[in-house]
Amino acid sequence: DLSVSPNLSSCHASYGRTDLLVHCCPSESQGEEAIIDFQFPDPSTPLRVRRPAHHVDDDYIAKYKRALTIMKSLPDSDPRSFSRQANIHCLYCTGAYDQPHSNLSIDIHRKWFFFPWHRMVLHFHERIVGSLIGDDAFALPFWNWDSPDAMTLPGWYMNDPFFDDQRDFSHFPPKVCDLNFHEDNDIEPEEQIHLNLAFMYKQVVSGAKTPELFMGCPYKAGEGGVCDGPGTVELAPHNTMHKWVGSNFQPEREDMGAFYSAARDPVFYPHHANLDRVWEVWRGVHKFDLHNMDPDWLNSSFYFYDENSQLVRIYVRDVLNTTKLRSVYEEVDLPWLNMRP
Ligand code: C2O
């Protein structure tokens, strides 16, 4: 059994950048409290339908604003607080946990845990946000940056509590994003949109015909960082859009540009909801049944707090069916799907 799982009691300071030690561990000691295994939400609970951030209405924004304001007001001692939620990403993405019986750390990026782990984050975050306003149908929005009408930061993310001042001001709306961003360019918006669509086709369709290409290299217990092979979409648009949003005045373009700080920016969530949706699109295009993947992947597990501040152990195999998780995506056009060069 080479499935991966963190040793909760091993949480330690980690490097957010080579020159920056960060402390993202919860102050209470974990692993001593009761942990429960993940249970699927009751199939009779409402389906949470995630919609494009550029198309939600004012009522939705007001509702989410209320929830996020509450979340941001909770103390750090509360695992449902915005800062604790942000720290989950820091913990699992900077190697703050070790594997059981070893001092090899766990990092879920640049490997095949990328998609399932972030789906877990979204699942628990969404449940918490909804519960803060007593809405069990609340669904996170997705930033549909692969659609021409959504290739800018969603307008309402420019206002509190959705705003974050650690962003690149020159990329504020109406600036069209570069899904393959490396440095600023002078490309005209029309041309940039076209390049973005062609790039999506390459990353999801022509360049991602196997799980290895799309999901990245298979990482197993007992390996420490030797597996370093992000899949197509993780590399870009995922990494590139993190950098595109983040501040040009920060060494790693924090907040969004670095793992330890990315989830401090509320736009982290709609960005990841879109990536999660793209995972579903890829699975449909290439007709993969993820339940047939390597058992070491399926049986790997991670820990998250739910809306009752209960620590839950959830397995990769638990998150392969979005309907069972009761969160689905509104169908949107895929204008890049037939963009064969
Ligand atoms: Cu765990 Cu978008 O990063």
| Domain assignment present for 320 | yes
Q: What is the pLDDT of residue 227?
A: 83
- Whether residue 54 has its Cβ less than 6 Å from ligand 1: no
Distance 238 CA to ligand 1 centre (A): 7
Answer yes or no: 272 catalytic: yes
What number does the ligand 1 atom closest to the CA of 272 have? 2
Q: What is the pLDDT of residue 331?
A: 97
Complete edge-to-edge strand list for the sheet that includes strand 311-315: 35-37, 311-315, 301-305
The stretches in the chain having pLDDT less than 70 are: 31-32, 225
Answer yes or no: 259 catalytic: yes
| Domain assignment present for 338 | no
pLDDT digits (tens, 9 = 90+) for 291-330: 999 999 999 999 999 999 999 999 999 999 999 999 999 9
Answer yes or no: 242 catalytic: yes
Q: Directed axis angle between helix 114-132 and helix 58-73, to 10°? A: 90
| Domain assignment present for 57 | yes
pLDDT digits (tens, 9 = 90+) for 246-299: 999 999 999 999 999 999 999 999 999 999 999 999 999 999 999 999 999 999
Eight-class DSSP state of 134: T
Q: What is the pLDDT of residue 37?
A: 96
Using a cut of 0.95, tell me whether the model's pTM lies above it: yes
Q: Directed axis angle between helix 58-73 and helix 82-93, to 10°? A: 80
What number does the ligand 1 atom closest to the CA of 242 have? 2
Q: What is d(CA 201, CA 215) in angstroms, rounded to the nearest whole number?
A: 16
Distance 112 CA to ligand 1 centre (A): 13
| Domain assignment present for 183 | yes
Domain count, the chain: 1
The residue range of the domain holding 266 is 8-329
* 255 HSE (CA, 13 A, CB side): 18
- Beta carbons of 129 and 96 less than 8 angstroms apart: no
Eight-class DSSP state of 135: -
Distance 7 CA to ligand 1 centre (A): 21
| Domain assignment present for 302 | yes
Q: What is the pLDDT of residue 31?
A: 64
DSSP β-bridge partners for residue 37: 313
Answer whether the bond into residue 58 is a cis peptide, omega within 30°.
Answer: no
Q: What is the pLDDT of residue 32?
A: 66
Distance 44 CA to ligand 1 centre (A): 31
Asked if this assembly's ipTM is beyond 0.85, the reply is: yes
Answer yes or no: 118 catalytic: yes
Eight-class DSSP state of 55: G
Answer yes or no: 109 catalytic: yes
Q: What is d(CA 70, CA 118) in angstroms, rounded to the nearest whole number?
A: 23
CATH code of the domain in which 46 resides? 1.10.1280.10
Q: Which tokens sit at 107?
A: 């990092």
